Amino acid sequence: MIALGAGATVSGSLNRYEIRAPFDGMIVEKHIALGEAVKEDASIFTISDLSSVWAEIVVPAKDLNVIRVGEKVVVKATAFDSKAEGSISYVGALLGQDTRTAKARVTLANPKMAWRPGLFVNIEVVSSEAEVPVSVLTEAIQTIGDKSVVFIKVPDGFVAQPVTLGRSDGKFIEVVSGMKAGTPYAASGSFVLKSELGKGSAEHSH
């Protein structure tokens, strides 16, 4: 056989052959050039099923106690704005002699083919999950004196409500006491409210 271009016509003893892949997938490598003779046992294309992909993680030895098969992770692309949830499917048993790290893999569903082989990603591991009755955004927490406060909404504005804090995942923080679930509060503007409160206290002291 000889590889033909899309607009080529068959003449002489040349015949067209339909080549079917044994499974659905995407062509990721081509091992043939236009006009090249092809043997019957030649590898023409490499096809991969990208409906499910995996990402490789390099895990330092100190973090191996929290990296377990089945743990949930969030995968974020570095080249574009996209993220997905997956789970750890494999954790290597051996450490690299020089790097002192182990390899782990995350399996991701890839229905839209957004995740391609070779793409660099950042991976966040969710080491544990717990339900908390009341939580607020971490940016809502301000410190006045030696107390943590949240500025909660009242009819004529906001007031600083002292709270006792618990666990945090970096984005939200648990409020153990001092605030009820569903209470409206200031998040991104809480620092401004604290500054205004400080100005008011200074004026009253004169």
Mean pLDDT of the region 106-124: 85
List the beta strands (DSSP E) in 50-205: 52-60, 72-77, 83-91, 101-109, 121-126, 135-137, 141-144, 147-154, 157-162, 164-168, 172-177
pLDDT at 150 over 90: yes
Mean pLDDT of the region 78-106: 88
pTM above 0.85, yes or no: no
- Tokens 């006009």 — which residue? 35
List the Cα angle 87/93/95 in 5-degree steps: 110
All structural domains of the chain with their residue ranges: 1-48, 52-126, 135-205
- Which CATH code of 1.10.357.10, 1.20.1050.10, 2.40.30.170, 1.10.1270.20 fits the domain covering 52-126? 2.40.30.170
Bridge-partner residues for 137, per DSSP?
Answer: 172
> Between 135 and 30, where is the model more confident?
135
pLDDT for 198 equals 62
pLDDT for 204 equals 47
What architecture (CATH level 2) is domain 135-205?
Beta Barrel (2.40)
* DSSP string across 96-131: -TTT-EEEEEEEEE-TT----TT--EEEEEE-----
pLDDT for 154 equals 93
Mean pLDDT of the region 134-162: 93
Mean pLDDT of the region 57-78: 86
